[in-house]
Amino acid sequence: MNVIEINHITKDYGNKRGVFDVNFTVKKGEVLGFLGPNGSGKTTTIRQLMGFIKPDHGEVKILGLDCFEKANLVQKELGYLPGEIAFMEEMTGIQFIKFIAQMKNIKDMSKAEELMMFLELDAQGKMKRMSKGMKQKIGLVIAFMQDSPILILDEPTSGLDPLMQNKFVELIQRSKKEGKTILMSSHIFEEVEHTCDRVVMIKEGSIVAAETMENLKRNRQKYYEIHFNKESDAVKFAEQYDQCQRDQKQVILTLKGHTNELLKNLSQYDIRDFNARPQSLEELFLHYYGGEQ
């Protein structure tokens, strides 16, 4: 069952800004990573899902409800973290959390308290004196405290330190086990890699790729760094492969699969050192974007 449906939406702001014929779905219980650089159309798409703006063409639905026409009903069913949160600076963090809880008609604050403890958040201070990371934690508490079946998160770890980014990954993994449906825009590839079932990539307002994480991992290339004892061996070896670079006795080779064949070939040479690593999701992403490797 598709919980989120984005059907060929276009929102054109002119000068090639906006989103153009964007089309994808998110199934029940799925975590989808929505990837793209700043200005690629992630937030514009999410704002249409939230019913804040109406597409020029196409439609967006959550639980079968039109996101613009039925925005009040849709928003009751989901937890939302915007890319930029409008805080009431004179309030303390806890006052702001309670204010939002009141608006969402949340009577039981135990989930919010559990989240504050998990994120190591002291929300007693005034918002205006809080760091970006502290405010982001408050945003996460607000998004998750309703315990909604659907979460829409726009750059959720912006401003968080690496320790808190790991905590966020744990939070998503826990929500996934509970069967929640999550759409998460991000540019941090590690968190996507550790949380998402599928990835949709957007560039200049258009979808350039949609892949399962399993497929992405399977299609990754590997980088091999091989140090030969003799430069003549490095030269001879490098001549056999197209995707390689040689610097004196060192050869850097990019290869998909064929590890057994490579090792068999290398056994003929006198090797000083050998290192291998898989292509990162970021490097794979650059491939879709036509970026330089």
Q: How far apart are CA 100 and CA 221, in angstroms?
A: 46
Mean pLDDT of 140-165: 93
Per-residue DSSP letters for 228-253? ESSHHHHHHHHTT-SSEEEETTEEEE
Q: In angstroms, what CA-CA distances link 205 with 35, 64, 117, 229?
A: 12, 24, 38, 50
Residues 6+ apart with CB under 8 A from 134: 93, 121, 125
User: What does the angle CA 158 – CA 172 – CA 60 come to, to the nearest 5 degrees?
Assistant: 80
Residue 216 — very low, low, confident or very high, per pLDDT cuts 50/70/90? confident
Mean pLDDT calculated for residue range 259-285: 85
**Alpha helices per DSSP H over the chain:** 42-49, 71-76, 93-103, 110-118, 132-144, 162-177, 189-195, 213-218, 231-238, 259-266, 281-288
Q: What is the pLDDT of residue 290?
A: 60
pLDDT mean over 173-198: 89
Residue 250 has a pLDDT of 94
The pLDDT score that the predictor gives to residue 92 is 94
Query: What is the average pLDDT across 200-209?
Result: 91
pLDDT band at 187 (very low <50, low <70, confident <90, very high): confident
As beta bridge partners, residue 207 has: 202
Domains in the chain: boundaries: 220-288
Q: What is this structure's pTM?
A: 0.81
Cα 86 from Cα 71, distance rounded (Å): 19
Q: How far apart are CA 2 and CA 170, in angstroms?
A: 25
Task: Give the chain's length.
Answer: 293
Least confidently predicted of 115-124, 172-181, 284-293: 284-293
Phi, psi of 54 (to 5 degrees): -105, 135
Do residues 140 and 168 make contact, with C-beta atoms less than 8 angstroms apart? yes
CA 186, 187, 191, 194 dihedral sign is positive
Q: What is the mean pLDDT of residues 145-161?
A: 93
Per-residue pLDDT tens over the stretch 23-75:
999 999 999 999 888 888 999 999 999 999 999 999 999 999 999 999 999 99
